[in-house]
Amino acid sequence: MSAYYGYNSMGCQEDNEGSWGIGVYYGNSPFSLKPIEDMNIWDNRSAAWPIANPVLTCASVTDSAFPSNYVADPFLYAKDDILYMFFKSKNPITMQGDIRVARSMDNGVTWEQLGVALNEDWHLSHPYVFEYNRHIYMMPDGSGKGDLRLYRAVDFPLKWKLEKIILERSLIDTFIIQHKETFWIFGSYHGNLEIWYSRSPFGPWTPHKRNPVLGLPNGGRPFNYNGNFYRLAHDNERVHVFKIEVLTPYSYKEVEVDIGVENPTKGRNAWNGARSHHLDVQRLSNGNWVGVADGDRIHFGDVISRRVVGCGLIVTAGSVIFVIGWLLGLVKRFIPFAHNVKNKNSLLLIWERLKLRVRLNVNPNRFIGKFVISFLLIVSVVIMCVGFWYIYGGNGAEKPYPVDTRFSQFTLLAMTYDARIWNLKMYVNHYSRCASVREIVVVWNKGNPPDPNDFDSAVPVRIRVEKQNSLNNRFRPDPLIKTKAVLELDDDIMMNCDDIERGFKIWRENPERLVGFYPRLVTGPPPLMYRPEKHARKHNGYNMILTGAVFIDREVAFERYWSREAEAGRETVDEVFNCEDVLMNFLYANGSRDPTVEYVKPKWAIDTSKFSGVAISGNTQAHYRVRGKCLEEFTKIYGGLTDRKVEFGRRADGWDR
Side chain identity at residue 419, one-letter code: A
Helix 346-361 to helix 302-327 angle (10° resolution) is 80
pLDDT digits (tens, 9 = 90+) for 568-615: 999 999 999 999 999 999 999 988 888 999 999 999 999 876 665 555
Please name the residues in contact with 492: beta carbons below 8 A apart, sequence gap of 6 or more. Answer: 420, 423, 427, 607, 608, 609, 612, 615
Q: Which is higher by pLDDT, 343 or 136?
A: 136
Check if 581 is active-site: yes
What is the H or E stretch that residue 425 is in?
Answer: helix 421-431
The CATH number, out of the four listed (3.40.50.300, 3.30.365.10, 3.40.50.1820, 3.90.550.10), of the domain defined by the range 409-638: 3.90.550.10
> How sure is the predictor about 257, in pLDDT bands with cuts at 50, 70 and 90?
very high
More confident residue, 483 or 14: 483
Q: Pick from 192, 181, 187: which is nearest to 166 by CA? A: 187
Mean pLDDT confidence for 467-478: 96
pTM (2 d.p.): 0.87
Alpha carbon distances (Å) from 588 to 515, 553, 591, 637: 12, 11, 5, 13
Q: Indicate the pLDDT class of residue 223, thresholds 50, 70 and 90.
A: very high
- Catalytic pick from 106, 258, 581, 594? 581
One-character DSSP codes across 577-619: T--HHHHHHHHHHHH-SS--EEE---S-EEEGGGGTS--TTSS
Which residues, in sequence order, are CB contacts of 100 under 8 Å at separation 6+? Answer: 61, 66, 68, 71, 86, 87, 88, 89, 113, 114, 115, 116, 117
Instruction: Give 295's strand partners.
Output: 21
Band of pLDDT at residue 328, cut at 50, 70 and 90: low
Q: What is the mean pLDDT of residues 278-289?
A: 93
Residue 317 — pLDDT band, cuts 50, 70, 90? confident
> What is residue 653's predicted lDDT score, i.e. its pLDDT?
92
Query: In one letter, which amino acid is 317?
Result: A
- Please compute the mean of the pLDDT values over residues 247-258 and round it to a whole number: 96
pLDDT band, very low/low/confident/very high, at 209 (cuts 50, 70, 90): very high
3-class secondary structure, 634: helix
Interval 412-441: pLDDT, tens:
999 998 878 888 999 999 999 999 999 999
Does the pLDDT at position 476 exceed 60?
A: yes
Is there a contact between 89 and 71 (Cβ–Cβ < 8 Å)?
yes
The rounded distance, in Å, linking the Cα atoms of 103 and 174 is: 23
Output the furthest CA–CA distance in the chain (Å, rounded): 101
Q: Break the chain into its structural domains and give their ranges.
A: 20-298, 308-335+353-393, 409-638
Distance CA 136, CA 127 (A): 12
Please tell me the distance from the alpha carbon of residue 633 to that of residue 637, in angstroms, as a whole number. Answer: 7
User: DSSP labels for 356-424?
Assistant: HHHHHHS-TTSHHHHHHHHHHHHHHHHHHHHHHHHHHS--S------BTTBB--EEEEEEE-GGGHHHH
Q: Give residue 570's pLDDT.
A: 97
Does residue 335 have a pLDDT over 70? no
- Which residues contact residue 594 at a Cβ distance below 8 angstroms, ignoring those fewer than 6 apart? 512, 513
Quick one: pLDDT at residue 351? 56
At residue 319, φ and ψ (nearest 5 deg) are -65, -40
pLDDT at 163 over 80: yes
| pLDDT class of 366 with cuts at 50, 70, 90 | low
Classify domain 20-298 at the CATH topology level. Answer: Tachylectin-2; Chain A (2.115.10)
